[in-house]
Each structure stands twice: as C-alpha cells, then as structure tokens.
Structure 1
Amino acid sequence: MKFTDGHWLMRAGVTPAYPVEVLDAAPTADGLRILAPTYPVRSRQDLQSGAVLTVDLSAPLPGVIGVTLTHHAGGAARSPRFELFGDGHPAAHQEITDTSAALTSGELTVRVSRAAPWRVEFSAGGRVLTSSGENDMAILTTGDGGHHLRERLMLGVGDAVYGLGERFGPLVRNGQVVDIWNADGGTSSEQAYKNIPFFLTNAGYGVFVDHPGLVSFEVGSEDVSRVQFSAQTQSLRYFVIHGTPKEILARYTALTGRPALPPAWSFGLWLSTSFNTDYDEDTVNSFIDGMAERDLPLSVFHFDCFWMRELSWCDFQWDERIFPDPRGMLARLKARGLRVCVWINPYIGQRSPLFEEGMAHGYLLKRPNGDVWQWDLWQPGLAIVDFTNPEAREWYAAKLDALLDLGVDCFKSDFGERIPTDVAYFDGSDPELMHNYYAFLYNRTVFDLLRKRRGERDAVVFARTATTGTQRFPVHWGGDNLSTPQSMAESLRGGLSLTMSGFGFWSHDIGGFEGTPPAWLFKRWIPFGLLSSHSRLHANYSYRVPWAFDEQAVDVLRSFTRLKASLMPYLYQAARVAHTDGVPVMRAMVLEFPDDPACVYLDRQYLLGGDLLVAPVFTEDGTVDYYLPAGEWTHFVTGERVSGPRWVRERHGFDSVPLFVRPGAVVPVGAVDDRPDYDFAEGVTLGVYGLADGATVTTTVPTVDGDVAATFTTTRRGDTVRVEVDHPPATWRVRLAGAEPVDVTGSTVTVHL
C-alpha cells in the first residue's frame, strides 16, 4: 500500500507521525522497551499530548530479533495469531548507554540511537545489514479512518529480495508490490494461493512480519531503496533473522515450524482421473492397466471431484452411480500396490446432506446476523466449515476418517482461499485475520487426522492454499497452471518462490492443468515434473496418461520415473534435511551459491537437494541456456564434464535434460528403480564426483521410514579414495566419475583414481 506521492508529498488524506528520538529505554524480561515520541521533547510541556510509539525488542532464538511497534495498546486482543516456537532460553544481551540502546542475539545486534534523527540499525559481524531511519517507521492515518503501522528497511546496492510465498512473477521481488491476501487466481497473475509474510535477502538477513491478516509489501517500489511493509493495526511485530540464505530458512522454520517428513511412497508418480473428464472404475482400471502394460511405475492414484455426486460437494460419499462398490474398488487398487488419494475441500454445497447437519449444529460460518454464510460460486448455496469450532473440526475429520476406513490413504485438500470477511466466527476470531489463517486451520485438521490414523511418518496431503506455519503439513502444489511453456516457467518460479518462503516440498501439474499441451510440451514438462520433490499427472478437461500424446511420451515418462526412483536414497535424505533443518528439497541457485553474482536472478534452473543441478527445457527444439558455478560439474547421466563458471547453450532431445552433479559431491543411487519405497541402503551405489585431494564427505542414506540406515565417509588422499560405512549393507558399490563401479562387501573400500 502506498502512502506517499513521490518523494516529497503524502497522498491525499494520509497523515503521518514518525518517531523522532528515544524518550526512555529500559530492560525487560526478554529484551528492551523503548518509548519513541513522534515529536521533539524539549520540556515537560512537550509530554502532555501527541503520539508515542512503543518499540519492544525481543530475542526468541539466537540470530533472531523481534521488533514490536505499538501505538494504542488498549484494544481487545485480536485473534488468530501465528503459532511460534522459541527455544525458551534466548541468549540475548542488553546494553543501554547515553547514546543508544542495543539488544544482541547470536551475532545479530539491533541498535537504536537515542538522539534525533531516529535510527534503528541491524548489524552482524561488524557490518550493517539493514536499517530503519528518519521517516521510515510510522503511524499513518488515512481519510477513510484507517490506522496503519508501517516500517521501511533499507536496501543496499545489489540487495535482492526473495520469498513472500508462491509468486509466479520474477523470482527477485525487487520492484514488486505484494499484498499478503490469499486468492484463487491461477498461476499467471499477481494473485497467489500461498501468501507468506516472510522474505529473505542475499544481504545476510530475512524478515518475518508476524501478522496473519493483510500485510502490504512495497519491495523497492514506493521507495526504490527500501522494503516497506504495513498493516491496518495498532500493534505490529516483525522479526529480523540473520544468516546465509540457508541459515535464515533454518531459523525461520525453527520459529514458525518445520515441515513434517512425507512418506517415501509419496515421492513416486501420482496419476489422476483429471477434473472435468468422464471416468468410472473401468476408466480408472484402463489407466492403471495401461501404465502397467507399458512398464510405467505408478505409486498413487488420485480421484478428483467427481468421485462425489455433482452439486453435492462436499458430502464425502462416493457417487455409487459411477462407483457402485467403492470399498471393493479401493481394495483392488491397493492389491496392485497403489496408494489412493481423493479430492476434498472445506465447502458444503446446499444439496449435500451435510449442509443441514452442519447448519443445525453450528458448524458452518455465519453472517453477523446469525444466518449461514452462503453464495453460489463453485456450488449452489455453498457454505464453509468453521474450523474455529472444535466440534466442527471433529465433525469434519470424522467424515474423512470414514474414508480412511474404506481404504483411502491421503487427501488433496483443495481450495480454502476465497474466505469471506463479512462473517462471525465461533471463537470470535477477527474475519480479516482469519482470511489467510483459515488455510492453516483447514490443513491442520486434515493432516492431524492422517497423522493420528496413519502415524507420524505416513501422513501427507496435497494442499493448494497456505499461510505461515502451513509448511508443517506437506505437500503443496502450485494450483491451476496453463498448458503453455510460459506457464511451465511460471510454475517453476512459483515453486522456487515458495521454497524460499520456508516450504520444504512442492509439486505442480505436469503438462499444465488448463488446456491440453502439444505433445512436445508434455514431453519437455516430464523431466521437470519428475525432478521435483513430488510428481503428479493431473488436468482439467483432458487426461494425462502419456499414450494420449504419443509413444515417445511413454518412453520419456518411463525413463524419468525410473530415474527418480533410483535417486530416492539421495532425495529422501534431502527430505530429511527439509524436515530437520528447514532447507527445502528444491532450491533456488542463490540458496546454495549466495556469493555468486550470476545466481542472484536465476529462476529457470534449480538444485534438487544440495548436489544436483536441474535446468528444465522450455522450447520445442530443445534449446536451453543454463549456468554452472565454479568447479568441474559432471552430467549425471552421460558423465560429460564441464568446468564453470560459465553459461552453456545446447540442444536436448526429449529423453535428456541438463542434470549436473556438483563438484566434490557424493551421490547415493539406489538399486531399485520401479518404486520409491524400498531398502535404500541395500545395493546402494555411491557416485563420487571430483572430490578434492584431502577432502572428506559424509553421506547419510536413510531408511524408508526416515531414520538413518547407514553413514558413509568418503576421503581422498592423493590418488586414492577411501570409503567407510558404519552399518554396512550386505552389498554396496562405489563408482568414481567416469569409471566402472566397484562392488563392496564389508565396511571399507579403497579405490584408486
């Protein structure tokens, strides 16, 4: 939201009040409290009227400092609030002198100058990271009666801003205006399904604005040298988080919650009925038979909306005109080794028998006058479940629980963005704050049921909407993309933006959701889809079985599905890192190479885990441009070696994609390629790529349940490479780049270069 009219003037109706100096600074139990008048104080008379801003500084975690701005503190507490997690024992140091007040947490220090001009400075390691100066922090009233709190933080020359949720424009947010307000807007506009009030920079810091409602960000836009954020509130808290990009994500997710670890089976290929297509059990069986006949590994089958009767969404009852024996059908699918997913949403159409039930018990959102809130978009007379009501949550979960009893394994938790504000919640929550936060309550209800029924390591959803904290309930997919190369690129940008916002896992609809892609585009999209954390074939009006395009599409899908399965020892360890440390599986280049200027703006390639570079091909003729940072990179499939830093332009057939191993990496590859869930350690091959003399690399191979199966230590000394393992599998192998693999039985092997 813009308040100024250029550099010199305010917009019509806007009245600002800025802190000018420190009147008082005092220690508190967890930090400092500063009183900052918005006018100069020269005598007692000056203290009798005028706005004073209270600034509270706190340290919930090492390397994290909270700043709370408060104008009028007498208002009723507004809910909901984000769930935050401190360590309980923040190591913060307070310092108050005649010239400043400072708080230090880890290496991060915030210092507030006591005298005019007003200045708040964040520094680490003797370097100023960012600052808020004169006329940056503000109380702003508008002509319509609005009361806003605003903060502006300085951007240094070359500072780039990332994150703020799943956004589909350029990865670097500089120059963009971002409103944190969830919307069902597809992937080709400035609207987003997953708006997250958190950004990170390449300048050693990130910022999380702890406000679940509408937060407006002006990222180098209203003032091109500042990141501005504002909200209509009397109190606003933000956290400055210090570190490298990966350290910032680790600290942000420590504060807001780490992703759960999805089950290994969820990393396999998902196939859907699609949405508005015609299907019944015969159609489903024809798809599954077709996959098996063509030797295409399949892990999950998904039933989209029309598993329920039309105009009854959601009643959570199988349409027995189409699926007369759902229990038997699901049993038959599971006998073939498949998991089953079904589509749900938090809406109840008026035709659904659950509408009367929900209305009678007070489980549906109401208007302020007590009427059930309804409209005719999506379903006639649609109502919305009120997840602030504990009994409504139990009621909704019980309907899903019955589906689990039938044999369903997981849910596609769709929708949840178009949440109205002209409503009254059961628990009195503020409707403006609940608009975004509804996504958290909805997905937590679904995920908690799955965790309760299936266990901590076997729960997964396929969710579209999110807010801060929803990263705890994976997986999230990119929503309704188009079947165009432009939308393929949009999808990648959205995924990288989301993973730069604290989300560990992400997927998208291979080939696009809206429309039918030409065969060439579908085949180009397959490698990108399979080299994502999660991989799904799904669409709106057309099927996504590969033989609907051509036989080559079948071959391409087979090749990359099997490649992904063989990479599961590597990928599932990357998933464990996302779960334990908050560093995502799919990583923007700048996340791994923050000191390489060429990586700042790259958004058409990424790292899968820490050691595999992927550059999807977006063109029909196979031309692709990609960048390799410093060192000797090795193509994972062909073994070709290319030295960076350099840009590469080349052409690829449909059966290949730039897929390079990072210099000095050790990549474990499994012995199984027809399923994602197997014994990752047994028969594993350790690929050793360009290990420097004297270097040691530790490689963890997980179990299928997410524990540690074996830890390999690889060391190079001159022309020999020695590999040791603590819990040796019966058989394993070592393969130096460009050489044949060496079979090993036992705990140690030495290989000569």
Structure 2
Amino acid sequence: MRFRDGMWLTAADKTIQYAEDIYSINQSGDERSLELLCPTKRIRSRGDTLNCPTVTIKLEAVIDGVISVEATHWAGQRRLGPDFELFPDGKPESAASITTGEKGTALTSGGLTATVSPDPHEFEIRFSGHDGREVTSLLNRSVGFAYTPATGNMKVVEDMRKTQHYMFTQTELGVGESVHGLGERFGAFNKVGQHVEVWNEDGGTSSDQAYKNISFWLSSRGYGVFIDTPEHIDLEIGSERSCRVQTAVESQRLKWYLIYGPTPKEVLTKYTILTGKSGKVPAWSFGLWLTTSFTTNYDEATVTDWLSQMQTRKIPLEVFHYDCFWLRAFHWCDFVFSKDHFPDPKGSMTRLKSSKLANKVCVWINPYLGQASPVFAEAAEKGYLVKRLNGDVWQWDLWQAGMALVDFTNPAARKWYVSCLEQLFDTGVDCLKTDFGERIPSADVQWHDPTVDPKKMHNYYSFMFNQLAYEALQNRFGADQAVLFARSATAGTQRFPLCWGGDCESTAPALAESIRGGLSIGLSGFSFWSCDIGGFEGNPAPWIYKRWVAFGLFCSHSRLHGSNSYRVPWLIDGDSQEPENATDVVRHFVRVKRRLMPYLFAEAKEAAENGWPMSLRAMGLEFPEDQTAWFCDRQFMVGKSLLVAPVFTEEGDVEFYLPEGKWTSWWDGHVEVGPKWVKEKHGFLTLPVYVRERSVLVLGSEDEAEKGEGFGYDWVKQGAEVKLYHTQAGDSFTVVDREGKDVVTLEVGAGNTVSGLDKIEGTWSSTVAVR
C-alpha cells in the first residue's frame, strides 16, 4: 500500500503522521528494553505538546542477535488472537545491556546493537552488527500511522467505522542489497521492487498470490525481519521508496523482530528458534510418491494395475496417494471412501502393502465439508462449523456445493476431526495430503472462540489445520514417522513437514516458477519441499515430464501428480521403447536418489536442526559473500555439497553458475574451477550435478540402489562407498542411520586417509574413492 504520491506528496486519499521527535527514552530495570515517546512534530515549547499525536516505540533485546521493534499509536486497541506460537522449543538465555554515550542510547543484544540518536529532534534508530557496521536503520519519516480516507481534522476519527487506520515502518535498504523469502513466491526471486501482500490465496504458481505467505524476509546483508502478526501485511519493497522496505498493517500496533546473523544460515537458525524448527521426516518419505491425479477416472483395479506395472518395470514406489475422488462426489471431505470405486479400502491397502506394490498409503483431505454429506448436518448441529455473524453456518458454493468450514477454534470440533483421521489410520492410511486452507473468510464470520480476530484467522487457519493433522499422525505412528503433504502455510507451519508447491502448469516456465517458489520457501524457515513432477495443469510433453523428473528427484521429496491425466511414465510417451524414454528416466533418477540416501538423510537431519532448507537451498545461503549467488534462481544446492542445475529445454542446453572453488561432475568426474558460468548439453538421463570441493560423500552401494526395496534400507549395514572430493585434512562427514541417529564421524587425515571406518567395521562394507 502506498501512502505517498512520489517523494514530495501525500497520496490523495491518505492522511499520514510520522514520528518526528524523540521526546523521552525510558529504560527498563533489567536493561533489556527502551521505550521511546515520539511526537509527530518537533517539540520546541510546551505548546507544541497539544493536539500532537505520538507514536510509542519499544525496542527489546529478545535473544542474542535479535531485537524487537514495536510501534504503537493508540494502546487501547483490544489485543485479539490468534498469535504466533513463539519459542515452541523454549527460549534460550541471553545477555543484554544499555549504554549511553556521544552517539546516543544503545541497546545491545548479543552481536546486534540498536542506537537511538542523542538529538531529540532527529528521529534516528540505527542497527549495527558485531563489527560496528550498519545493518539497517529507521531514519527520518520511517515510522508512523495513516488514515484512509483522508481526514480533514482530528475530530473526524470520533467515529472510526468508515476509517481505516494503518501502522507502518520503513527500514533502509543498502546499495546492492537483495531481499528474499516471504514464503513460497513464484515471481522474481529478489523481491526488491515488488509490492507483496502477506495474505494466503489459492492462486496457482503463475501469479503474485501465494499459498504459503510467511511474514519473514531475509536480506543478502546478513539479517532478516520477522513481522509478528498473522494478519494481512502489506509490503512495499524498494517500490514506494526505492531505498526502503515499508511494512504496513491495518492496526494500531506493529511489531517485528530484527534478526542478525551475520551469516544467512545464522539468521535462519535464529528465526526458527523464534517460530519453530521442522520436525524430522522418516527415511521412507524420500522415496517416489505416485498419485491417482486429480479428476482422473480410477478405482481399485486401476490402482492395482498401475502399481503392478511400476513393479514390473522395476521402478521402486514408496508411497501411493489417493487424491480427491477416493471420496464421493459432493461429499468432500467427510472421510468416507466411495463404495462404488473402493468397496473394501482396508483390504485393498493391505493387499498393496503385502505384495510390496507400495510401502505406504496417503490420502487427500481438506478442512471443508460439502452440504450433500450426512456428516454436514451432524457437524452443524454440534457447532463444529464456522458461522456467520447472524448465527447461520458460513457456506458458499466455491469448490463444494454448500461448503462449510470446520471451526478449529472449537475444542470439540478438533477432537471430532481427529477421530475422523484415526478412522483413516485404522483403514491403513499412513500419511495425509492436507490440501487447501487458503480460502478462509475474514468478513461476516464468527468463530467459536470469541477472542480471535477473523482477519488474523485467515492466515493462521493453515497453522491450526496442519498442526492438528500432523499431531494426529505423531500420536498414531510416532514422533519421527509423521508426514504431511501440505499446500497452505503461515509462519511456524514449518514445524509440520512437509509442503508442496501447488498447482503449476506443465511448461518450462512453470518449472522455473516452481524452482523460485522452492527457493523462496527454503529461505523462510522450511526445511522440506516438493512439487508436482511434470506440472499439474495440462498434459506435459514427454520432454517436459522427463526434465521435471530429473529435477524432482533432487527435491527433498518427490511426487508424480497431475490434474486430469495419469502421470505413470509409460503413458506419458505411449510406452516408447526409444532410449531415454520416460520409464527409463524415472527408474534411473529414483536409483540415483536411493544411492544418495546416506548423504541426503544426514543433510536432512542437519537442516531440520538448524532451520535450513535441505534441498532447493539457495546459492546465497552457502556462498553469502558471492554477489552473483544471490541472483541464481535456476539452480540450487542439495545440502552443503551438491549443486544441481535443472534443464529447461528439450534439446538439453543449460547454463549455470559455479562459485569459487573446484567442482567435480557427479556423472563423469571432470573438474571445473569457479567462479564462472558454464554451458553444457545434456540428454534425459543427466543434468548438471556438481560436487563441491572438500566434500566427503557417503553413498549407498550400487547394488542397493538398483533394488526395488524401500528408501529406508539400512545403508549402514548393507554396504556403502565413501567418496572424497578435493578434501583437506580435517574435512568430515557424520554418518546417520535410517532412524536419524549419528553413527560415526568420518574424518579425513593426511594422504586422504579416513578415520572412523574401523568403528563400524564388521557391519559396514565400505570403499574409499578419491577425486
């Protein structure tokens, strides 16, 4: 939202008041906070204090390297929920201090300091890092509030029913600074120059809307900002003012946290200490997932045929997913299998698992309830559904006829919903696709809990929905075995892995969009992410499908899914027998990923513990000092050691960037020395995959990679290979078993010797290869 008309004029429909003066500074007794009283004009006499609004700014040391900034106009506004759950794993102890000197009053929290100008008539709050260099600042006319429509005088706001009130702040952008994150966003990777609204929408991957809006952004300068509210947030990122990031909310209060690294990895770690880290994901979830697709015509016989053919073609399948039409039409989502298509769902799932056609089963659910289902009347009668202000059940016909919304602020509704999920688990379901959760009403609506603000519930609902489903899975299968496939999210939803990228088209530009979305969500605290391999909308050309498969098997999680067409590979190219056909490509990359499991699972553990993305890790996260790395949005790191560059052309031409160092091709071992851009041409069984120098890779054996067993195989006991890539003494890798427990740390010594192999001798047949 723009409050100004260029630099000089106020927008015609707005009235703006800026904090212009720092009238007083109050220190807390524990030296952890400063409270600034800031009039909206410079106070030079007693008379100036009359008819003069003020903004109160509170600076507080939260944890080391994190200072919160809270700006308030009228403090009497009710503080309705919901609020983000902060420090879910506990708040670490931290030190803080306040000092006063020639440069002003300084609040220090770890390596971050906020210094308030000593001149009361010069509004200035500067933030600096441990080395004294400026991180960002709040300068002249950077904090204030605005009314719309414009007010003629102060008396107008006696009645606020037709007036909107906004709080805003504007932080400085440095020269060359880039901004990233803010959830799963499919537009330009660098957000500078963009207007972004943090408001969940079902908008696909080809618009400025997003399913997963996260009120956190990461700067290339080694800091991040977390905006602490689930309500609608409006951001002008170097757009209204090209040198500032403006944050605005329709409220009397705005609070955000400045998070200092100084490295971007440290910023993400501190952000996820605030909002929570990803749960662990089981090893089996890294395998191939196959779905029925959305509107395709399928039944038990269809499913059995697909899975039998996957087995015959030696494509190991880990999870089979039943999409929407396992339910009866118009009855979504009442958790009842369509008897016409699945007369014996429990028996069917048992047969699939016993014959090893699929190791796990997933089903599609959402938080809506169609009117045609008998369950609708029951849920309405018991008060489980959201209501309108007049007491009617809130309904509309978008998506499902007469659809209502389960009210997760009602404890009885939550308990009932979990009982429905438990019935699915009894049937044989192992994991859940929690679809939708974005189209949540924010007007003419009342929730069971009268203390919640409907506008805040719009974004926050996705947290409640996914938390409920995830914890139900944990309670049934164990804390480390729960897996979601979620579409909507808000800050903190990273605690309930994992999510996927929503509805994309089956084109090369859509593949690029998906990669940008995955990179952005990874810089928003999410460790695990997936997408619809081949694209969701339309029928992918064989070359698009195969290029997407090559990319998709290097995501943390990999699923074949579509809208109105089947996505088993032999139907993509008419069961072609040509070399590098779709079946060959899927089989090949599943085997590659299976062989990488010892490396991938160790990286997954490290990523979840630190709040980093495991795959689709932005280049800037690993190479923060390389300015080019921050603009690479068509490639990514998988963990710390593997660089992957997807191919976007049928012919196989691809260009990618290698940062400084020696890089070894995964496929043929040739070495490139960066920094430089590289052009290559690839068939369908390869894509640029390079191993970073000083990497110790532990791989599953070739024999294990070709077997059709699950991804949770015991790579510690079933043979492995240790590969050293231009290593130096002291380089190391910690082997993790399939349960996520550390087994041993392998360390490189002089002459490329590797210590630690003897500690697991007798259970691990290993060889060491040096590159």
Mapping of residues 486-497 of structure 1, within 5 Å: 486-497=509-520
2:660 matched residue in structure 1? 630
Distance 1:355 1:531 in 2: 42
Distance 2:435 2:244 in 1: 36
Q: In 1, are the aligned partners of 2:200 and 2:210 still within 8 Å (CA)?
A: yes
Aligned pair partner of 1:101 in 77, 99, 105: 105
1:471 matched residue in structure 2? 494
2:157 matched residue in structure 1? none
Deviation at 1:725, TM superposition (A): 4.2
1:5 matched residue in structure 2? 5
Query: What letter is aligned with 2:316?
Result: P
Deviation at 1:596, TM superposition (A): 1.0
Distance 2:94 2:383 in 1: 43
Mapping of residues 68-107 of structure 1, within 5 Å: 68-85=70-87, 87-97=91-101, 100-107=104-111
1:743 matched residue in structure 2? none
Q: Does structure 1 residue 462 correspond to structure 2 residue 485?
A: yes
Deviation at 1:245, TM superposition (A): 1.0
Distance 2:687 2:93 in 1: 48
Q: In 2, are the aligned partners of 1:577 and 1:584 still within 8 Å (CA)?
A: no
Identify unmatched segments of 5+ residues in structure 1: 739-753
Distance 1:639 1:662 in 2: 12
Deviation at 1:43, TM superposition (A): 2.8
Of residues 461-470 and 423-432 in structure 1, the stretch that sits farther from structure 2 once superposed is 423-432
Deviation at 1:685, TM superposition (A): 1.3
Of residues 495-504 and 543-552 in structure 1, the stretch that sits farther from structure 2 once superposed is 543-552
Q: In 1, are the aligned partners of 2:637 and 2:644 still within 8 Å (CA)?
A: yes
Q: Does structure 1 residue 130 correspond to structure 2 residue 117?
A: no
Mapping of residues 639-650 of structure 1, within 5 Å: 639-650=669-680
Mapping of residues 541-560 of structure 1, within 5 Å: 541-550=564-573, 551=576, 552-560=581-589
2:435 matched residue in structure 1? 414
Of residues 170-179 and 724-733 in structure 1, the stretch that sits farther from structure 2 once superposed is 724-733
Deviation at 1:97, TM superposition (A): 4.7
Partner secondary structure for residue 564 of structure 1: helix
1:18 matched residue in structure 2? 18
Aligned pair partner of 1:528 in 551, 565, 570: 551
1:168 matched residue in structure 2? 186
Any idea what the Cα deviations from partners look like across 1:178-207, whole Å, max 9, x if unmatched? Answer: 000000000000000001111011112111
Partner secondary structure for residue 373 of structure 1: coil
Distance 1:584 1:140 in 2: 38
Partner secondary structure for residue 65 of structure 1: strand
Distance verdict in 2 for CA 1:727–1:34, change over 3 Å: farther
Q: In 1, are the aligned partners of 2:744 and 2:756 still within 8 Å (CA)?
A: no
Distance 2:690 2:610 in 1: 24
Any idea what the Cα deviations from partners look like across 1:682-727, whole Å, max 9, x if unmatched? Answer: 22211100013xx312211112111112221122x2x443332474
Distance 1:618 1:304 in 2: 28
Distance 1:732 1:500 in 2: 38
User: What is the TM-score when the length of structure 1 is the normalising length?
Assistant: 0.96
Distance 1:612 1:652 in 2: 18
Any idea what the Cα deviations from partners look like across 1:509-555, whole Å, max 9, x if unmatched? Answer: 00000011111111111110000000000101000000012341111
Aligned pair partner of 1:678 in 713, 719, 723: 713
Query: What letter is aligned with 1:700?
Result: T
Q: In 1, are the aligned partners of 2:22 and 2:122 still within 8 Å (CA)?
A: no
Q: In 2, are the aligned partners of 1:712 and 1:726 still within 8 Å (CA)?
A: no
Any idea what the Cα deviations from partners look like across 1:147-205, whole Å, max 9, x if unmatched? Answer: 11111111111100000110001111111110000000000000000011110111121
Query: What letter is aligned with 1:471?
Result: Q
Distance 1:431 1:522 in 2: 42
Q: In 2, are the aligned partners of 1:680 and 1:701 still within 8 Å (CA)?
A: no
Distance 2:666 2:680 in 1: 16
1:46 matched residue in structure 2? 48
Identify unmatched segments of 5+ residues in structure 2: 150-161
Any idea what the Cα deviations from partners look like across 1:322-353, whole Å, max 9, x if unmatched? Answer: 10011100111221341000000000000112
1:750 matched residue in structure 2? none
Identity of aligned residues (%): 48
Distance 2:92 2:519 in 1: 32
Partner secondary structure for residue 572 of structure 1: helix
Distance 1:217 1:640 in 2: 45
Distance 1:566 1:99 in 2: 58
Partner secondary structure for residue 753 of structure 2: strand
Q: State how many pairs are aligned.
A: 734
Q: Does structure 1 residue 660 correspond to structure 2 residue 681?
A: no
Deviation at 1:46, TM superposition (A): 2.8
Aligned pair partner of 1:687 in 698, 719, 723: 723
1:378 matched residue in structure 2? 399
2:159 matched residue in structure 1? none
Q: In 2, are the aligned partners of 1:206 and 1:248 still within 8 Å (CA)?
A: yes
Distance verdict in 2 for CA 1:224–1:726, change over 3 Å: farther
Query: What letter is aligned with 1:20?
Result: E
1:141 matched residue in structure 2? 147
Any idea what the Cα deviations from partners look like across 1:103-156, whole Å, max 9, x if unmatched? Answer: 111111111114222111110111001111001111111115111111111111
Any idea what the Cα deviations from partners look like across 1:462-507, whole Å, max 9, x if unmatched? Answer: 0000000000001100000000011011000000011011111000
Partner secondary structure for residue 265 of structure 1: helix
Distance 1:530 1:270 in 2: 10
Of residues 208-217 and 13-22 in structure 1, the stretch that sits farther from structure 2 once superposed is 13-22
Partner secondary structure for residue 387 of structure 2: coil
1:747 matched residue in structure 2? none
Distance verdict in 2 for CA 1:155–1:710, change over 3 Å: same
Partner secondary structure for residue 474 of structure 1: coil
Query: What letter is aligned with 2:463?
Result: F
2:155 matched residue in structure 1? none
Partner secondary structure for residue 696 of structure 1: coil
Any idea what the Cα deviations from partners look like across 1:218-246, whole Å, max 9, x if unmatched? Answer: 11111111111110111111001111111
Distance 1:662 1:88 in 2: 34
User: What is the TM-score when the length of structure 2 is the normalising length?
Assistant: 0.94
Query: What letter is aligned with 1:600?
Result: W
Q: In 2, are the aligned partners of 1:23 and 1:114 still within 8 Å (CA)?
A: no
Aligned pair partner of 2:124 in 119, 125, 145: 119
Q: Does structure 1 residue 601 correspond to structure 2 residue 619?
A: no
Distance 2:424 2:18 in 1: 56
2:328 matched residue in structure 1? 309
2:736 matched residue in structure 1? 702
Distance verdict in 2 for CA 1:31–1:130, change over 3 Å: same
Any idea what the Cα deviations from partners look like across 1:282-315, whole Å, max 9, x if unmatched? Answer: 1001110011000001000000000011000011
Distance 2:136 2:668 in 1: 45
Query: What letter is aligned with 1:594?
Result: P
Q: In 1, are the aligned partners of 2:370 and 2:402 still within 8 Å (CA)?
A: yes
| Consecutive aligned runs of 4 or more in structure 1 exceeding 6 Å deviation | none
Distance 1:474 1:283 in 2: 30
